[in-house]
């Protein structure tokens, strides 16, 4: 669980850094990279939530 939180936090930080670089430079490449990182962060978060739900369901059955 700690690893998932760490990865999730690092991905969010990377997305924020990408958007900050976009604001500083105005280069649209950094905006696209930030959007891709945030998209995959959301997907990873949903996957982690699904794993947690499935673990709890397995315990209940």
Domains in the chain: boundaries: 2-60
pLDDT tens sequence across 17-31: 999 999 999 999 999
Q: Is residue 1's pLDDT more than 80?
A: no
What share of the chain in percent tops pLDDT 90?
69
- Residue 55, helix vs strand vs coil: helix
H or E stretch covering 5: helix 2-25
Q: Are 11 and 41 in contact (CB under 8 A)?
A: yes
Q: Is residue 54's pLDDT more than 90?
A: yes
**Residue 5, pLDDT score:** 84
pLDDT tens sequence across 30-45: 999 999 999 999 998 8
Q: Is the pTM of this model over 0.75?
A: yes
- 13: tokens are 């930080």
Q: Who contacts 21 (Cβ-Cβ below 8 Å, separation ≥6)?
A: 27, 30
């Amino acid at each position: 669980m700690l690893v998932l939180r760490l990865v999730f936090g690092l991905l969010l930080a990377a997305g924020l850094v990408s958007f900050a670089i976009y604001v500083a430079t105005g280069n649209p490449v950094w905006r696209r990279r930030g959007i891709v990182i945030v998209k995959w962060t959301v997907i990873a978060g949903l996957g982690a939530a699904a794993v947690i739900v499935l673990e709890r369901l397995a315990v209940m059955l």
